[in-house]
């Protein structure tokens, strides 16, 4: 009997695997999701997403489900050993160029339920719960797996497999992929609380006037015990406390120890502790992101210290990056070599943010009072000479891969302004888009696309005709560009001014297609203009 065959097999149905199923399902790829657990995990684990993740939920068609159950907040505050502010990543009063707030907090069981409900609407996406991966084989053409369920074993064949099965990934183990250790490991206690009132803060110095402590993630860089206070959705609050030398996990998870730690913050506030667990905060990255037709994503590929709230965000970016590439290759619109750019783009991106989080963790976790005081002085001096930062500033551009690296803005995230009362992506649609500053540039782009890149469906949008109130024109003008090509994951492929056909020819090369020789492109460029 032939194996049941699908386009994509996803191992793990946490938020990362579930988003992948939504994206692939909307694109029409036959997908099976394998999840070991029979019910949703009842406890909150990840709690934070940023504006980029909200835009991905928007693109996946689940924002109406997710949106009502998340809470937007006002950024991050780091407090030094003397209770004074040493770093403020605030967003109050700042523009929202990407259409969403910089920070949202959620309750993971709710988020996972919404994402599963989203892909359940796609007839060609199936979820197998209570199913555990036992073996896999991968060659150049397909991946074959054996899966055990309550009723026995089944075999599946897929063109590709995405491993979203967490930090202890079975797929990574079966493939023999090692993790690159960035040499950061600290033990922390995570406490989740339902609190029917505001959190109490010690007397702080230098808090900006616009800062509402109830709407900030507050990092206490206190050498007596570093801690974080996180504003969850609804009445959910989270504390993270660093374990000090000599403290054991077992002792610190005892109810009396937990009550002692959160007590000062909740004095007089009715509350219920719903979880207390210890974790090791790591900085780890897979040495290989791809083996044959198997791809690692999320915690299976990397583990991030939580100091910037980017752990789950990395995983969602992974599958957003990979999904559009799988769709292009599956549809014959790009060469299979396009999939080589997944690790090329994601590894440096993740590595840069994890390295920044590790650096932050090292200054946050200082336990020597003199070193902590010196740190506070250095950071305040640096803050006085630097422009105000936000968490969004921490995310780097893509420097290599499917980007026209020599053009301004290549690899940046593209903006999403409001056009009247709607967000840009809802007005123009998503997928490949080319934004043109004027009619002449749009006409040139349309002709060059027809001649040079006919296989790629790309919408050409003249910004004068889409209700833009200046944001798109300003973005293009600031970069000296007449056009910008935006990828399906909202990163900019590149911008162009005079040589628009050359920009499009560069995209054709990046997608690995068999296109005309360069001497013929010159004639194409002349005809297009």
Per-residue model confidence as pLDDT tens digits over 172-226: 999 999 999 888 888 999 999 999 999 998 788 889 989 999 999 999 999 999 9
Tens of pLDDT along 249-289? 999 999 999 999 999 999 999 999 999 999 888 888 999 99
Phi and psi based region of residue 368 (left: phi greater than 0; alpha: psi -120 to 50; beta: remaining): beta
pLDDT of residue 3: 64
CB-based contact 351:56 (threshold 8 Å): no
pLDDT at 35: 96
Percentage of the residues of the chain whose pLDDT score is greater than 70: 95
pLDDT digits (tens, 9 = 90+) for 235-259: 999 999 999 999 999 999 999 999 9
The rounded distance, in Å, linking the Cα atoms of 456 and 340 is 19
Across 434-447, average pLDDT: 95
Q: What are the structural domains of the chain? A: 4-70+105-176+285-362 (3.50.50.60), 418-528 (3.40.30)
What is the average pLDDT value for the chain, to the nearest integer? 90
Q: How many angstroms separate the CA atoms of 271 and 414, rounded? A: 42
DSSP 480: T
Residue 494 in tokens: 């590149």
Q: String of b and e for 110-123 (b: at least 16 CB within 10 Å)?
A: bbbbbbbebbeebe
Residue 31 has pLDDT above 60, yes or no: yes
pLDDT at 306 over 70: yes
Would you place residue 1 in the very low, low, confident or very high pLDDT band (cuts 50, 70, 90)? Answer: very low
Q: What is the largest CA-CA distance in the chain?
A: 78
User: How far apart, in whole angstroms, are the C-alpha atoms of residue 351 and residue 362?
Assistant: 16
At residue 42, does pLDDT exceed 90? no
Asked if pLDDT for residue 304 goes beyond 90, the answer is no
How confident is the model over 421-433, as a mean pLDDT?
94
Using alpha carbons only, what angle is made at residue 429 by residues 120 and 127, rounded to the nearest 5 degrees?
15
Per-residue confidence band for 517, with pLDDT thresholds at 50, 70 and 90: very low
Determine what percent of the chain is predicted with pLDDT higher than 90.
Answer: 75
Q: Say what the pLDDT of residue 94 is.
A: 85
- Whether pLDDT at 430 is above 60: yes
| Alpha carbon distance 516, 518 (integer Å) | 6
pLDDT digits (tens, 9 = 90+) for 331-387: 999 999 999 999 999 999 999 988 888 888 888 989 999 999 999 999 998 888 776
pLDDT at 387: 66
Q: Which residue has the tokens 């996180």?
A: 230
Distances (CA, A) of 302 to 160, 164, 264, 295, 324: 20, 11, 35, 12, 21
- Within its chain, how far is the Cα of 368 from the centroid? 34
Pairing of strands 217-220, 227-231: antiparallel
| DSSP string computed for 211-263 | --GGGSEEEE--TT--EEEEE-STTEEEEEEEPPTT--HHHHTSHHHHHHHHG
Q: Please state whether the predicted TM-score (pTM) of the whole model is above 0.85.
A: yes
Identify whether the C-beta of residue 230 lies closer than 8 Å to the C-beta of residue 217. Answer: yes
* pLDDT given for residue 68 in this prediction: 94
* β pairing state of 422-423 and 432-436: unpaired
Per residue in 78-118, pLDDT tens?
A: 999 999 999 888 888 888 999 999 999 999 999 999 999 99
CA–CA distance, 309 with 394 (Å, rounded to integer): 11
């Amino acid at each position: 009997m032939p194996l049941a065959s699908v386009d994509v097999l996803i191992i793990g149905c946490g938020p990362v695997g579930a988003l992948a199923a939504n994206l692939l399902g909307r694109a029409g790829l036959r997908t099976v999701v394998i999840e070991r657990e029979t019910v949703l995990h009842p406890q909150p684990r990840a709690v934070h997403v940023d504006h980029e993740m909200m835009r991905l939920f928007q693109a996946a068609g689940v924002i109406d489900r997710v949106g009502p159950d998340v809470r937007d907040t006002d950024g991050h505050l780091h407090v030094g050993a003397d209770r004074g502010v040493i770093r403020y990543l605030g967003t109050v009063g700042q523009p929202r160029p990407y259409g969403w707030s910089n920070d949202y907090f959620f309750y993971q069981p709710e988020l996972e339920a919404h994402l599963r409900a989203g892909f359940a609407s796609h007839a060609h996406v199936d979820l197998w719960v209570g199913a555990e991966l036992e073996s896999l084989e991968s060659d150049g053409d397909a991946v074959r797996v054996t899966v055990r369920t309550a009723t026995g074993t089944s075999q599946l064949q897929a063109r590709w497999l995405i491993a979203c099965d967490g930090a202890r990934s079975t797929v990574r183990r079966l493939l023999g992929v090692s993790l690159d250790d960035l040499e950061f490991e600290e033990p922390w206690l995570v406490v989740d609380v339902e609190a029917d009132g505001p959190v109490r803060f010690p007397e702080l110095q230098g808090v900006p006037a616009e800062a509402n402590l109830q709407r900030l993630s507050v990092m206490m860089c206190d050498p007596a015990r570093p801690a974080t206070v996180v504003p969850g959705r609804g009445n959910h609050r989270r504390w993270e406390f660093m374990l000090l030398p000599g403290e054991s996990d077992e002792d610190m998870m005892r109810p009396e120890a937990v009550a002692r730690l959160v007590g000062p913050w909740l004095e007089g506030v009715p509350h219920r502790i719903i979880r207390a667990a210890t974790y090791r905060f790591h900085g780890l990255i897979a040495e290989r992101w791809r083996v044959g037709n198997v791809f690692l994503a999320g915690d299976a590929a990397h583990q991030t210290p939580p100091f910037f709230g980017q752990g789950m965000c990395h995983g969602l970016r992974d599958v957003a990056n990979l999904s559009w590439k799988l769709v292009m290759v599956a549809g014959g619109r790009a060469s299979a070599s396009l999939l080589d750019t997944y690790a090329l783009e994601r590894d440096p991106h993740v590595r840069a943010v994890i390295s920044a989080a590790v650096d932050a963790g090292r200054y946050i976790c200082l336990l020597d009072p003199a070193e902590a005081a010196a740190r506070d002085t250095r950071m305040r001096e640096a803050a006085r000479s630097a422009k105000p930062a936000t968490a969004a500033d921490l995310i780097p551009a893509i420097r290599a891969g499917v980007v026209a690296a020599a053009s301004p803005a290549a690899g940046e995230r593209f903006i999403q302004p409001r056009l009247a009362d709607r967000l840009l992506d809802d007005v123009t649609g998503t997928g490949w888009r080319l934004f043109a500053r004027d009619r002449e540039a749009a006409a040139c782009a349309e002709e060059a696309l027809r001649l040079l890149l006919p296989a790629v469906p790309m919408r050409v949008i003249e910004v004068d005709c889409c209700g833009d109130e200046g944001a798109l024109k300003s973005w293009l003008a600031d970069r000296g560009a007449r056009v910008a090509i935006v990828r399906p994951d909202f990163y900019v492929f590149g911008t162009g001014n005079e040589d628009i056909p050359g920009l499009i020819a560069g995209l054709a090369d990046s997608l690995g297609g068999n296109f005309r020789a360069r001497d013929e492109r010159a004639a194409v460029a002349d005809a297009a203009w």
